[in-house]
Amino acid sequence: MKVYLILRRVMTLLAGLLLMPGARAAAQSYSDSIYAWQHHYKAEFLVTEKSPLTAADTGFIRFYPPDPAWKLPARFTLREDRRDLLLPTYNHTSKPFREYGYLDFEIGGTGYRLFVYQNVNYMTTDSLHLFLPFTDLTNSETTYGGGRYIDLSVADIRDGHILLDFNKAYNPYCAFAGGYSCPVPPPENSLPVAVAAGEQQFAGTVRE
């Protein structure tokens, strides 16, 4: 019996070692995809009209290291009463959005809910885009104090589920300069946890 147990432990250890290269490759592949997303994100500042950043400024954009633990499965629920509303912005104006649905997911075994919206001004040109503004406990510590955004797509919803990847959380333009109309994340999208993923606070000079 002792010999059997020893052999079983050895086989379990060997199986784990055999799986490790594949697991490492998967993790590396995921990290590479996030680095590619970050590169594209920075490059967009150089071709976007009214961009708040120059090429030199993009060197001060910082991110948390890619972490697949922050790529979370979420259950999507479509709101039946998809009413239009005005989200306030940080320059004291407002922008029209439509309530679209909400995502239920877990962080560390605790359930949370975030609401997603459609920008009414863009619905004729990009009807699939979903806007998710949120705040969390990293704000004003390691991330922008006004919260961050995540872009999603209706096309990514499969059988009532979608992947919510906080590694792709990004700053609004207001994190880089004044004079922009950045929607304020609504109170219902305030997470009482620290989301240590995605874009961090801008390390450069914020222009007024």
Average model confidence (pLDDT) across the chain: 89
In this structure, is residue 44 part of a structural domain? no
Q: Are strands 94-107 and 110-119 parallel, antiparallel or unpaired?
A: antiparallel
Stated pTM of the model = 0.86
The verdict on residue 196 lying in a domain is no
Minimal CA–CA distance to 132: which of 176, 170, 77, 79?
A: 170
In this structure, is residue 59 part of a structural domain? yes
Domain range holding 82?
Answer: 52-189
Domain presence at residue 60: yes
User: Is 46 within a domain?
Assistant: no
Residues of the chain with pLDDT under 70: 1-27
8 falls within a domain: no
For the chain, the domain total comes to 1
Q: Is residue 11 part of a domain?
A: no
Q: Give a yes or no: residue 63 inside a domain.
A: yes
Each residue of 81-131: pLDDT tens digit? 889 999 999 999 999 999 999 999 999 999 999 999 999 988 878 889 999
* Residues 142/88/150/128 CA torsion (nearest 10 deg): -170
